[in-house]
């Protein structure tokens, strides 16, 4: 059997108020009855005590049936009986029917007098009190109906306005906002809704910009490849040397597209999975691997790699950490001038965190551009990045990888002075016996492999 569902707020409020009113009426009637019955019982008991005293005094002075009958007629509803030594001397007609009636006995050395009071019944006072309570409660219900109607209209209007703005957003108008269109009671809802709309609008703008930049990034090498291919085909480029150079350019441009697509796939995988595979490794192993990967590139630019590390055991996703640090190091070498040093330092940031920083003396980043460097396809220097084969996605990939391992990236930079990128991430530390800061290991361009 399906359950009945109350569909409106007003119905819910009225149902609660009706139930409350019914309970209030019943409760007020019972309370009035109990209070009045208590007072009546006390009154009847006092009256019975007074009658028993009068009857006892008359009986001790001698039996006088006429006087007893006078007392009986003067006390309607009261009955009494008189006994001496267990023998009944006088009794009114209802004296043997106690039922639930109040009685009072006066026992003397020779006489026993029992007075029975009439039953207590509701009086017009209790009925009147209950009626007044019912009228008040009905008035409250009517007022509540009126108030809930006003509330329902206010809530209904707010819901309709929210639905209207939501439909505008759904249809593509991401600039739609609630702002001050709802009552002040809905300020929290308005704030949350408008913040959501702003986030959607910002995400849409970022997506549009990304697609536009991506189209440009792909179109540039494709145009170059197409132009050179046509030139070779129609013999515009006919000299063997020129053809060889053109083929090299075509190969480089195709590689650029390949690397861009690979980076896009990597970024998409990181954003979709949002997962990290935990492995155990030593920071010493991490730094040695880093040195092997970048020593040749550093030598080519006559750049010194200075690596210092704090030995400790790390339980994290080694692949993602190396991906992030490789990006930092690659950028540092790319933007540093010759005969400069790139400093890589690994140390404990706290008891439960480890940090790895990469510092260069390169071109630096302008203050107003620091917040943009993690955007997809953003380049500090477009011409230099394209010439060096950068896709513009490296730092976006690094940021997402850092999020996946529960870490963060901090950037310090001064334009034309240099930059420092620091990855800080949570670790499970088991200190090795050697617990000291080792001396920096240096690899210069003049060192032998």
Residues 319-335: pLDDT tens digits? 899 989 999 998 999 88
The mean pLDDT of the chain is 76
Residue whose tokens read 């990967």:
293
Predicted confidence at residue 437, as pLDDT, reads 42
Cα-Cα-Cα-Cα torsion 7, 13, 19, 25, nearest 10 degrees, comes to -150
Helix axes of 394-404 and 318-335: crossing angle, nearest 10 degrees: 150
d(CA 382, CA 258): 18
For residues 396 and 148, the model is more confident at 396
User: Which tokens in the block code for residue 223?
Assistant: 């145009």
**Please, what are the domains in the chain?**
1-168 (no CATH), 205-267 (1.10.287), 279-443 (3.30.565.10)
Res. 248: pLDDT tops 50: yes
| pLDDT above 60 (res 6) | no
Reported confidence tier of residue 243, pLDDT bands at 50, 70, 90: confident
Question: What band does 124 get if pLDDT is binned at 50, 70 and 90?
Answer: low
What's the token pair of residue 239?
């000299």
Asked if 183 and 161 count as a contact pair (C-beta separation under 8 A), the reply is no
> What is residue 39's three-state secondary structure?
helix
> What residues form DSSP beta bridges with 424?
355, 408
Report, as an integer, the average pLDDT of 351-379: 87
CB atoms closer than 10 angstroms to residue 323: 17
Rounded distance between C-alpha atoms, residue 77 and residue 56, angstroms: 19
Return the pLDDT at 95: 65
pLDDT, average across residues 74-100 = 70
How far is residue 228's CA from residue 235's CA, in Å, rounded to a whole number? 10
Number of Cβ within 10 Å of residue 30's Cβ equals 12
pLDDT in tens, 276-318: 788 899 888 888 888 888 988 888 888 999 998 888 889 999 9
* Per-residue pLDDT tens digits for 423-448: 999 987 444 443 434 444 444 433 43
Residue 271 has pLDDT above 60, yes or no: yes
User: Mean pLDDT over residues 405-410, rounded?
Assistant: 93
Q: Quick one: pLDDT band at residue 237, thresholds 50, 70, 90? A: confident
């Amino acid at each position: 059997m399906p359950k009945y569902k109350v569909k409106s707020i007003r119905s819910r409020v009225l149902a609660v108020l009706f139930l409350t009113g019914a309970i209030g009426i019943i409760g007020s009637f019972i309370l009035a009855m109990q209070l009045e019955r208590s007072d009546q019982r006390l009154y009847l008991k006092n009256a019975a005590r007074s009658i028993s005293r009068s009857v006892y005094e008359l009986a001790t002075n001698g039996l006088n049936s006429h006087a007893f009958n006078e007392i009986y007629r003067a006390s309607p509803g009261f009955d009494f009986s008189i006994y001496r030594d267990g023998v009944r001397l006088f009794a009114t007609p209802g004296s043997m029917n106690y039922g639930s009636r109040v009685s009072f006995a006066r026992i003397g050395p020779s006489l026993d007098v029992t007075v029975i009071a009439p039953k207590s019944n509701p009086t017009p006072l209790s009925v009147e009190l209950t009626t007044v309570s019912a009228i008040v409660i009905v008035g409250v219900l009517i007022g509540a109906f009126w108030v809930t109607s006003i509330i329902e209209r206010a809530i209904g209007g707010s819901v309709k306005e929210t639905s209207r703005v939501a439909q505008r957003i759904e249809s593509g108008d991401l600039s739609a906002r609630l702002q001050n269109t709802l009552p002040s009671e809905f300020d929290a809802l308005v704030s949350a809704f408008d913040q959501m709309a702003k986030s959607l609008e910002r995400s849409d703008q970022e997506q549009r910009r990304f697609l536009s930049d991506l189209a440009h990034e792909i179109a540039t090498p494709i145009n170059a490849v197409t132009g050179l291919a046509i030139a070779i085909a129609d013999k515009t480029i006919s000299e063997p040397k020129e053809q060889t150079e053109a083929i090299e350019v075509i190969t480089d441009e195709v590689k650029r597209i390949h690397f861009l697509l690979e980076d896009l796939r990597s970024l998409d995988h990181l954003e979709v999975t949002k997962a990290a595979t935990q492995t155990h490794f030593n920071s010493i192993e991490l730094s040695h691997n880093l040195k092997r990967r970048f020593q040749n590139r550093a030598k080519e630019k006559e750049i010194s790699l200075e690596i210092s590390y704090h030995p400790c055991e790390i339980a994290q996703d080694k692949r993602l950490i190396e991906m992030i640090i490789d990006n930092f190091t690659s950028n540092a070498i790319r933007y540093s001038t010759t005969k400069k040093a790139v400093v890589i330092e690994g140390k404990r940031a706290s008891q439960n965190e480890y940090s790895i920083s990469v510092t260069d003396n390169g071109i630096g980043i302008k203050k107003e551009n620091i917040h943009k460097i993690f955007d997809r396809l953003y380049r500090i220097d477009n011409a230099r990045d394209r010439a060096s084969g950068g896709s513009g996605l490296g730092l976006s990939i690094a940021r997402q990888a850092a999020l996946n391992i529960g870490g963060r990236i901090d950037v310090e930079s001064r334009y034309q002075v240099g930059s420092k990128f620091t990855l800080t991430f949570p670790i499970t530390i088991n200190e090795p016996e050697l617990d000291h800061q080792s001396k920096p290991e240096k690899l210069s361009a003049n060192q032998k492999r």
